Amino acid sequence: MDFMKILKSLEEALYEVMVWLVFYPLTFWRVLTQPAYMMAYAAHELGDEDEDRYSDKLSPPIFLAITLGLAHLLELGLGSSELEGFLADDRNLLAFRMVMFSTFPLVLAVRLLRKRREPLDRKALKGPFYAQCYVAAPWALVVGTVPLLAFAWGGATLDSLGAALGVIGVAAIWYLILQARWFARMLDYSFWRGFGSAVSSFLLAMVIILAFVSAVAAV
């Protein structure tokens, strides 16, 4: 009986992993082309029963985790990781990146609840956090892969660094505009007031991430 349960669990796990091959690119495409819809979809699906949630797309945290995993695999393939200490272990490095890029969704979700003057609890935070995980994935992919590709193709030169920073800058503008529109829509703000909330939240997330990096570097 226990053996059959193991087989059943393996069957379900294998099926779930394989359908990622279908739903990951579909989800990524929808996030790029319809980010506002996907953010609303992420929060709305939490109202469904567990088995019905995200039936035709990946759930937001899994989508973000897979994206970071793909970026990590690219880094391993290019042989670009030369870190030491705690982050020299691939598992630690991947876990750290997941925490790092999940900081953006968390800070933005908390800021929304604070602006709404809603109580800060796990249930209230989940919807906006899930919504933010969708759009955090492309941002994380650009930050995690563009410098690697630039240096792999052009070498460790100032031109390669400039190109990488330029692409990351464009991605940051895209990300901030999405956040500005999200705040404006969710709080009935003007675009520019929403942009102010987006920028301040982004900078706060960066400060927290830099504190993480400093703490981990000291290990």
Higher pLDDT, 83 or 199: 199
- Reply yes or no on whether the pLDDT at 36 is more than 90: yes
- Per-residue three-class SS string for 26-93: HHHHHHHHCHHHHHHHHHHHHHCCHHHCCCCCCCHHHHHHHHHHHHHHHHHHHCCCCCCHHHHCHHHH
Model pLDDT, residue 219: 67
- Residue-wise pLDDT for 41-88, tens only, equals 998 998 887 777 888 899 999 999 999 999 988 888 776 656 666 667
Contacts for 71 with CB less than 8 Å, ≥ 6 apart: 97, 140, 141, 144, 145
- Residue-wise pLDDT for 7-33, tens only, equals 777 777 788 788 888 999 999 999 999
Percent with pLDDT over 70 in the chain? 93
The span from the CA of 214 to the CA of 201, in Å, is 20
- The three-class DSSP label of residue 188 is coil
Model pLDDT, residue 129: 97
126: nearest Cα among 110, 150, 138, 114: 110
- Reply yes or no on whether the pLDDT at 182 is more than 80: yes
The domain ranges of the chain are 2-217
Per the structure block, which two tokens stand in for 93?
Answer: 């490095």
The span from the CA of 108 to the CA of 121, in Å, is 15
Higher pLDDT, 122 or 15: 122
Contact in structure between 187 and 116 (CB atoms under 8 Å): yes
Percent with pLDDT over 90 in the chain? 57
Model pLDDT, residue 138: 96
Residue with tokens 């990096």: 213
The span from the CA of 113 to the CA of 128, in Å, is 9
